Structure 1
């Protein structure tokens, strides 16, 4: 790995550490992530994807938010601001830490521990929610996911070793 790649990798790692230690508000976290994105935007897809994944895990890792925050998250989704993690045409929300080629990385303390209950309040027609490969994921809000049954076809949770009750 070249020195530039090592520097960018270190920059993303430092961002993750900062998000964990300071626990900024959702808006401040997004601003910090976007500031780092300015530096890595032209350097390649893997870094942009990692920043999208960090943003997704941070946002969906917040378990309790108010109605206005739910609307803000909905706008992030519709505005394409979650990048490679959300495909509106296919209806997929991909927060997986695992791909066919490599294991994607988010530091342990920033990984989502549970899908939030408010995911069903977004009013987004998710067809697939992929949280596979996350060793920190321990719960899924089954009642809320079942309430999305008109659109939700699949919740992928392979290799979530701490998951206590996978969906039926």
Structure 2
């Protein structure tokens, strides 16, 4: 990977970490309606995500580059194989403000987004969505998204 692109990616991941450190309560109030089970689920997800970012950012550039293909982050494109029918589809996991279902950009707070965040290639997971449960194989992960994010 081009060193300047990797530097931009590192900077983007740092901004994500800073965002969750500084804007967490604002973000949480905006997007989490249920302060019971959902609150705990989202909080656990974000805490695991922050820990993962801290571990990745501590790596040198070469190791960071390899990690971008090994774990689904906010901004990762995740290609999955639906095992029942052999159909493949890619989803990009994004912040809620950047979601666009028509272009398979899904919020990490959505049911599918939560299940894909922090997954790894070759993992088999059951995606639960409003239309049912489907077993998928994670085929490939690539960090593709360098856009911004904000609380609206």
Q: TM-score, normalised by structure 2?
A: 0.30
| Structure possessing the higher relative contact order (Cα contacts under 8 Å, 6 or more residues apart) | 2
Structure with more of its chain in strand, by fraction: 2
